[in-house]
Structure 1
Amino acid sequence: MKINGQTFIVSGGASGLGKACVEEICKAGGKVAIFDMNEESGQEIVKGLSSSAKFFVCDVLSTESIASAIRGAVDWSRETGSPLRGVISAAGVATPATMLDRHGKALSLDDFDFVVNVNLRGTIDLVRQSLEHLAQVEPIGPDSERGVIIMVASSAAFDGQKGQVSYSASKGAVTAMTLPMARDLARYGIRVVTVAPSLFDSRMTSVMSDKVRKSLEDAMEFPKRAGQPAEFAQLVRQGIENIMLNGVTIRLDGAMRMPSKM
């Protein structure tokens, strides 16, 4: 699929990996509906991208908030004559906690629910509501493609560290839905691709201590550093443009396998 002249929704698009995807898509001639809670950052990005992007306040924990943002994005895509062709679901959170803390107190179910609701429920809610519109656009190209869903998992889905039960559960579920979702949507000409990054510079990793960051970088085989958001966005662009990428989760991790603990 050619990005030029098409519209894409990016959740979590006001910072980090999502922001890099916004910039990459706009650079390729596409338009982006930025979904995020941070209106100040979102509007700042829009200023730099002019008419190529528009910001919509969206809380992925709220079905109605998602619905409102999608309605706005669809209306905008019609106004600009750039059909909605895809969704990049990059909103995510992490709340590290072990099953039992040092005092023998069990993992907080409220914290578990928060992580799973943002990373998993928020993803599927955004995707399912967007699909009602994606399935209605005119197919393009020789294969009659309508669009693409790109979800964001994590290397923690495969080798989660100590304290990552909630995060690994949410991201593991995202990888598990990739193939059945692709099979569900094949009849509509809509593909599904999931990217599972390891250590990348982002808002989430910016709060890490130097010790934790160094431990993770040491687990990287090559290159021995955190990934850059632009490198993540390059793969997302391939997910959009390469029609043979479908029903797959791609690790983007420099051959890293996370150690059990720091």
Structure 2
Amino acid sequence: MTMKTKRKNNAHAAAAAFSRTTSTRPGVQDAIRLVALEPISNFRDSWEVASSHYDAMLLAKGGTRLAELDRRREDLATDWRMAASVTKDQLLAIIIEWKFLKGKPRHALKPLLQSNSEASVIAASKLAFVAANAIPKKDKENRNNNDQYRENDEDTKRQIISAINHLCELKGVGPATASAILCLIRPDVFSFMDDEVIECLLPHKKRGYTLGIYMEVNDRCREIADQLNMDMPRRNKKRRKTTVDEEENDDSLSKEWTSCKVGKAIWACAIMSATNDENGLSAIFKNKS
């Protein structure tokens, strides 16, 4: 079987999978098409195009309000490096508002969320941050050592679960909200639990927000990130930054893919499809069959 034939079969399989899914979110079919491009490492350009449209799709989905909330949410990562915890106001006014505007609002949860004390939010988030930051960063050598990778990955999964569970001790906070926080401090190991990402990566399952479903989705995002990073040269030169932390966390300088970035690309592709952005989709799937 030729590579071209294999890609055609993958595309047909993706379409068939979508037709059998219980998906209710517009645009997921094209996100499934993106994930079906194989081998993934050969289609890094398609993923980069999808990722590059993320900010534009925020505007398309929720206007300037969502774009502003997304910027404020990203800024929290800097604050949290200093404070190492989340405040109740940050949780309610930024994280939850962003999550409800980007996805499906669940206003019935607001009384529960508001019932959490400031102290409980700070305490739970501190424990979650400690667990998340204890996860070792993955280097290229470790990634290429399959036995060592599998052993370390099981430890990583346990630590991911631990971090999420700490935040889920708060009233009204589930894995999706926890992931919206944790993907900011460790984007390499946490993706955000977007509805479109769930339906794209688990097309045969009913969309849900359990820890088990999050782990399946996040594991797949991490796998895709690893494949996109395969044999990718690292940049040795970086422009001067004002602090070491800024340099280490500047995603615009680092071309490496993360679990969080994969989730963003999948979401952006789905929104491009849902908003009939034919030019953007054409750029993603140009000469891809």
TM-score by length of 1: 0.28
TM-score by length of 2: 0.26
Greater RCO between the two (CA within 8 Å, min separation 6)?
A: 2
